[in-house]
Structure 1
Amino acid sequence: AREESSPDSFTQNQQRNNNKGTMPRARPAPPSQEQQQPEPAPDAEPTDSDTDELVDASNDEEDEEDNAETG
């Protein structure tokens, strides 16, 4: 009886952990995230690169001005 109850409870715990996605054994969860990432990635990449370029340019100008004032 103990042997039968232990595997049952173990499988139940696995199912709960898989649902929570907290246990590292819950590998079925990551695939769903990977599928969701590719969709927003293309939209996020161009916007991120554009903003990064603008931010870098503005930062460079500000840095030059700051250096000129302090210098």
Structure 2
Amino acid sequence: MIDNGVKSVDSSRVVVESCTFDNIIGTLDYDSQGYGIWCSNGSDHHLVQNQFTLMFQTCITLTNGSS
């Protein structure tokens, strides 16, 4: 029951592997809440073998040129 599982801003080389994200609540009022993994302005992220259930928004969101 948290806003996001992982929130990454202005970061590089973030690794999120083999995690379970369950029941992320968030809110529709914020563009950056309710996601399993939310990244903004980051590079070279490694997101693999994660599981998502009962998500409020999309599971993974990459914005502002994140990769």
Provide the TM-score with structure 2 as the length reference: 0.17
Provide the TM-score with structure 1 as the length reference: 0.17
Q: Which has the larger radius of gyration?
A: 1
Higher strand share: 2
